[in-house]
Amino acid sequence: MGQSPSSGKPKDRIRRATLRAVLLVAQVCFIVATLGTGYAAYRAWQVWAAFPVHAAAASDASQRIGIIAGHLDNDSGAVCPDGLLEVDINTEVANRVARMLRLLGHEAEVLSEYADALTNYRAGALVSIHSDSCLPGRSGFKVARVVNSAIPEEEDRLVACLYREYERATGLARDEATITVDMEQYHAFAKIAADTPGAIIEIGFMGGDRKLLTKHPDRVARGIVAGIACFLEPAAP
Ligand SMILES: [Zn+2]
């Protein structure tokens, strides 16, 4: 019996067919492995992106909020005849504000009055907390931003939010008439990055508002947090 040259012997045909089958299986395995690796990487990215903490860290500093505890690590600030210190009130309130902001998902930090970190500080907002003198009978709070602001509309909005929410939370009256040059030319405003919105709040008088400042620091902190939240989320009611 004759056989065509192309067909070869039966053994060779079987060998070639086996080789083709092995190569095909190898190719299929390679394609499946490639697709599988790609899909696994895609899923890993999806899981990573679902965590806002990672996304924020990768994007910018806009989620960070800086809170200056007025006079911290520098001096006592105002002092009352009975020894009550402004720095203690400011620090208590600043720590509460930072804790509340963290509970709301922000990356908040308390800074001392002259913290090195303030140089070119970048954040979604920087708020400095101070208290007014121990003059008996004086009451009220006030908020200010730097006079020569690089972002006046943004900073005006931060100031307006703090005024509205702090007034609502504490019931204190606005004391805008006694805003000082020290507030409008506050040293930290000259240090932070020009695009970081900054404001300083005098949360009340250690004289007339002593009970609020010392017995209800939570209410004081809530007012400041609500003001910051109002600024960060303009769409919120
Ligand atoms: Zn002060």
Tokens 């965590």 — which residue?
A: 51
Task: Tell me, yes or no, whether 19 and 65 share the same domain.
Answer: no
Instruction: Report the domain count for the chain.
Output: 2
Same domain? 222 vs 185: yes
pLDDT of residue 181: 84
Percentages helix, strand, coil for the chain (3-state, rounded to 5) are: 50, 15, 35
Average pLDDT score over residue span 43-59: 52
Which pLDDT score, from 0 to 100, does residue 1 have?
43
- Cα-to-centroid distance, 78 and ligand 1 (Å): 7
Judge if 16 and 74 occupy the same domain. Answer: no
Least confident piece of the model among 28-32, 47-51, 101-105, 223-227: 47-51
Tell me, yes or no, whether 189 and 110 share the same domain: yes
Whether residue 183 is predicted with pLDDT greater than 50 in this model: the reply is yes
Domain of residue 27 covers 10-50
Q: How far is the CA of 30 from the centre of ligand 1 (A)?
A: 69
CA of 200 relative to ligand 1 center, distance in Å: 10
Question: What pLDDT, in 10s, does the model give residues 21-42?
Answer: 777 767 865 666 766 676 677 6
As a residue count, the chain comes to 237
Q: Residue 56 falls within a domain, yes or no?
A: no
Q: What is the whole-number distance in angstroms between the Cα of residue 121 and the centre of ligand 1?
A: 21
Q: What's the pLDDT score for residue 28? A: 66
Looking at the structure, tell me whether residues 15 and 70 fall in a common domain. Answer: no
> Residue 3: what pLDDT?
45
Calpha distance 12→63 (Å, rounded): 71
Residues 103 and 30 in one domain: no
CATH code of residue 151? 3.40.630.40
Tokens representing 36 are: 């599988």
Residue 156 included in any domain? yes
Segment 90-103 mean pLDDT: 98
Residues 42, 70, single domain; the answer is: no
Residue 111 contacts residue 184 (beta carbons within 8 Å)? no
Regarding whether 32 and 127 lie in a shared domain, the answer is no
Taking the centre of ligand 1 as the mean of its atom positions, its distance from the CA of residue 129, in whole angstroms, is 8
Q: Mean pLDDT in the chain?
A: 87
pLDDT number for residue 235: 61
86 in the same domain as 43:
no
Instruction: Tell me what the mean pLDDT of segment 104-120 comes to.
Output: 97
CA of 201 to the centre of ligand 1 (A): 10
Tokens coding 100: 């509340």
pLDDT in tens, 55-75: 444 345 778 999 999 999 999
Count of C-beta atoms within a 10 Å radius of residue 172: 21
Compute, in angstroms, the gap from residue 80 CA to the centroid of ligand 1: 13
Instruction: Let me know whether 46 and 65 are in one domain.
Output: no
Residue 1 domain flag: no
- Determine the distance separating the centroid of ligand 1 and the alpha carbon of 203, expressed in angstroms: 10
